[in-house]
């Protein structure tokens, strides 16, 4: 019997073996649901989501593949885990700041991604990090679901993505710069690049079409962890140097803020 915590990995490992037998890297949600039912994993919609590489099944790691979402219920085993996942960079001590603040009632009332971003925004940490100006007044656009269609490169391979669904956790717009946000609790070693890439392409496509007057689109990943009774926020700003290439993610800057209650 497969342990409960391993059922999700077992589902994708089995899907990978089936694809290898069929001589294809592409699979769909119908196959995922079929294998979920066989193995007893009750959430087929979550089965293909692995937000950091540590959670990937061993067989995917051994074959250096990750799951690329193609949209309309289709997925692909793409080559190059180091392309599909990006390691969070070390933050030097010179970029670690003590940030005094007065804790509010709801600051850490839950561990949701929305709460992480709310704390970082309400305490003006995001404003200091992105704009070096805590009184900057960016336009703020809250979480939304949308979709996009585009081609992209993964290593030497090209893929067509059609109406891929995504959730944009938060968007800031300030003086022509659009920044999209992703947030997580804890300090994982890496993250799935598509979490930033898909929302980036959504806004980049609109920019290239002339639908929005945007000078540039950047991405910000926000992490939070409770350490010695205090919250620590780590912020990373990225850009895609080659917009049509998943592997072109590049760090612009990073910083750590240690929230100290007054």
pLDDT tens string 155-199 = 999 999 999 999 999 999 999 999 999 999 999 999 999 999 999
Calculate Rg over the CA atoms of the chain. 19
Question: Which is it for strands 230-240 and 74-79: parallel, antiparallel or unpaired?
Answer: unpaired
One domain, residues 32 and 99: no
Q: Are 221 and 191 in contact (CB under 8 A)?
A: yes
One domain, residues 8 and 109: no
Strand order in the sheet with 26-28: 26-28, 74-79, 65-71
Strand partners, 97: 257
Q: Which of 79, 96, 112 corresponds to the end of one domain?
A: 79
One domain, residues 216 and 116: yes
One domain, residues 174 and 48: no
Strand partners, 144: 168
pLDDT grade for 5, boundaries at 50, 70 and 90: low
Q: How many residues does the chain have?
A: 262
Q: How many domains, the chain?
A: 2
Q: Which of 48, 79, 110 corresponds to the end of one domain?
A: 79
- Note the helical H segments in 123-191: 125-131
Of 120-129, 142-151, 227-236, the poorest mean pLDDT is in 227-236
Domain containing residue 224? 87-261
% of the chain surpassing 70 pLDDT: 96
Residue 214: Cβ-neighbour burial (10 angstroms; 0-12, 13-18, 19+): middle
Task: Tell me the CA distances in angstroms from 173 to 66, 169, 208, 211, one per residue in order.
Answer: 32, 14, 17, 15
One domain, residues 101 and 159: yes
Residue 4 has pLDDT above 70, yes or no: no
One domain, residues 112 and 168: yes
Whole-model pTM: value is 0.94
Residue 1 has pLDDT above 70, yes or no: no
Q: Which of 79, 100, 130 corresponds to the end of one domain?
A: 79
pLDDT of residue 2: 55
What is the per-residue pLDDT across 20-58, written as a single tens digit (0 to 9) for each? Answer: 999 999 999 999 999 999 999 999 999 999 999 999 999
């Amino acid at each position: 019997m497969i342990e409960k915590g391993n059922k999700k990995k077992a589902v994708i490992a089995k899907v990978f073996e089936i694809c290898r037998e069929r001589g294809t890297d592409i699979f769909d949600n119908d196959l995922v649901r079929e294998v979920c039912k066989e193995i007893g994993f009750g959430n087929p919609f979550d089965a293909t989501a692995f937000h950091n590489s540590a959670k990937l099944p061993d067989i995917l790691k051994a074959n250096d593949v990750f799951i690329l979402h193609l949209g309309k219920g289709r997925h692909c085993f793409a080559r190059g885990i180091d392309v599909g996942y990006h390691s969070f960079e070390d933050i030097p001590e010179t970029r670690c700041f003590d940030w005094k603040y007065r804790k509010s009632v709801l600051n850490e009332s839950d561990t949701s991604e929305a709460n992480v971003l709310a704390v970082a925004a309400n305490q003006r940490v995001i404003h200091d990090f992105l704009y070096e100006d805590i009184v900057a007044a960016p336009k703020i656009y809250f979480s939304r679901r949308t979709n996009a269609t585009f081609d992209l490169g993964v290593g030497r391979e090209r893929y067509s993505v059609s109406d891929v669904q995504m959730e944009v956790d938060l968007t800031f717009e300030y003086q022509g710069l659009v920044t999209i946000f992703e947030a997580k609790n804890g300090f994982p070693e890496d993250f799935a690049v598509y979490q930033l890439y898909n929302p980036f392409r959504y806004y980049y496509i609109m920019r290239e079409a002339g639908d929005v007057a945007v000078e540039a689109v950047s991405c910000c990943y926000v992490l939070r962890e409770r350490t010695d009774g205090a919250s620590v926020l780590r912020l990373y700003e990225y850009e895609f140097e080659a917009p049509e290439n998943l592997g072109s993610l590049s760090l612009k800057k990073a910083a750590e803020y240690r929230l100290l209650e007054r």
